[in-house]
Structure 1
Amino acid sequence: MSRLPIISMEKADHDVAPALQAVQQQLGMLPNFFAGMAHHPGTLNAFLAAQQAITEGSRLTAAQREIIALAVANANGCRYCVSGHTLSARAAGVSAEAAKQAQAGKAEKPQDQVLLDLALAVLEQRGHVTDGALNAARDAGLDDATLVEIVGLVSINSLSNWMNNMIRPAIDFPEVALV
């Protein structure tokens, strides 16, 4: 059971209703995560704006962004986000096995492994990545914009993970266990 009430479209105030309607229109449903975050319009709107800005200007594929989200969600212990991003990853062409591997920080393609290694280093070391980790990412062909994008993805995904870990909304996707 959710530790904060989930705000329905009918009970949403004028500061969050447009954002919730946009999410519902885009996804075909209103995930409990967004309805839980709607308690604070600024946080919800900032999250949506950051998510949109990172996605629109992304140097990574949708599949790469999803495997990063899966690795970060699993590391943060967020079952809600692991479940939701497994579904999103499948839609982006990631196999069920590759999604499970991503949760464990493993990727099939060497370039994707570099992305996961850096994302998890950023998360675990709170941005204080070693020169070796940064050089390995650069040696693998990641440019500065991509390095910054990865930090942005770790940040935005961690925000959603922590929010869901605090609120504990009902998982409204097929449930996936942490690895």
Structure 2
Amino acid sequence: MFVDHTLESAPEGSKEALRRTQKGFGFVPVAMRRLAESPVLLAAFDDGTRHFAASSLTPRQQEVVILTVARLNECHLCVAIHGRMLARQGHRALVAPLTAGEATGDPALDALVRFVEQLMACRGQVSDAELQMFFDAGFQQRHALDVVVGVAAYTLSTFANRLTRAPVDPQLQP
């Protein structure tokens, strides 16, 4: 249903994001080729992910947020991509529990997962008790707000990937 654009066929406003993706991944995943149909969506995702990458969360914490959003939104593609990225960071043991919604054995990461789950379930209106549990795990207000950036960027991604029925590219298979 959705066009798998190439660098040549993509709308002009999508080409730079596709080039960056090509450089980062070594290829352009089908999901990005399909999202390229909308330069506005692709730019929003590209900007959101770059801002999230610059957040106060560590790269491992960022991947935990992303995998939690992907699991909750049932995006098999994002689960595959970000499970692989977490494993590349040296945290392969976290992938199975995070994708299954189980405890990781790390209290701070488990608090982060619970915070993301609550944030999404309550559409942002997390209870004072839940927020305090997040802070008690060592997180600060800035972290909570940066999690919102990750949830926003990857909700956009997971929804668009599901809408376009983007498959998991062979290069991203576990």
Three-state SS of the structure 2 residue aligned to 1:107 is coil
CA distance in 1, matches of 2:2, 2:159: 14
Is 2:160 the counterpart of 1:174?
no
Unaligned runs of 5+ in 2: none
Q: Which residue of 1 aligns with 2:13?
A: 15
CA distance in 2, matches of 1:6, 1:123: 30
Q: Which residue of 2 aligns with 1:54?
A: 52
| Structure 2 counterparts to residues 1-179 of structure 1, below 5 A | 3-56=1-54, 58-95=55-92, 97-103=93-99, 104-172=101-169, 173-174=172-173
Which AA in structure 2 matches 1:144? Q
Between the two proteins, what is the percent identity of the paired residues?
Answer: 25
After superposition, the C-alpha distances for 1:130-170 in whole angstroms (9 at most, x for unaligned) are: 11101111122211110101111111111111111111112
Q: Tell me if the contact between 2:69 and 2:155 (Cα under 8 Å) persists in the aligned partners.
A: yes
After superposition, the C-alpha distances for 1:24-58 in whole angstroms (9 at most, x for unaligned) are: 112211111111111111111121112111212x2
Unaligned runs of 5+ in 1: none
User: TM-score normalized by structure 2?
Assistant: 0.92
Q: Tell me if the contact between 1:68 and 1:153 (Cα under 8 Å) persists in the aligned partners.
A: yes
CA distance in 2, matches of 1:121, 1:13: 38
- CA RMSD of the aligned region, Å? 1.4
Aligned residues: 171
CA distance in 2, matches of 1:108, 1:69: 18
Distance 1:34 1:20, change over 3 A: same
After superposition, the C-alpha distances for 1:88-146 in whole angstroms (9 at most, x for unaligned) are: 11112211x41110121532211111111101111111111111101111122211110
CA distance in 2, matches of 1:145, 1:102: 23
CA distance in 2, matches of 1:18, 1:137: 38
CA distance in 1, matches of 2:103, 2:68: 8
Q: Tell me if the contact between 1:105 and 1:116 (Cα under 8 Å) persists in the aligned partners.
A: no
CA distance in 1, matches of 2:48, 2:102: 24
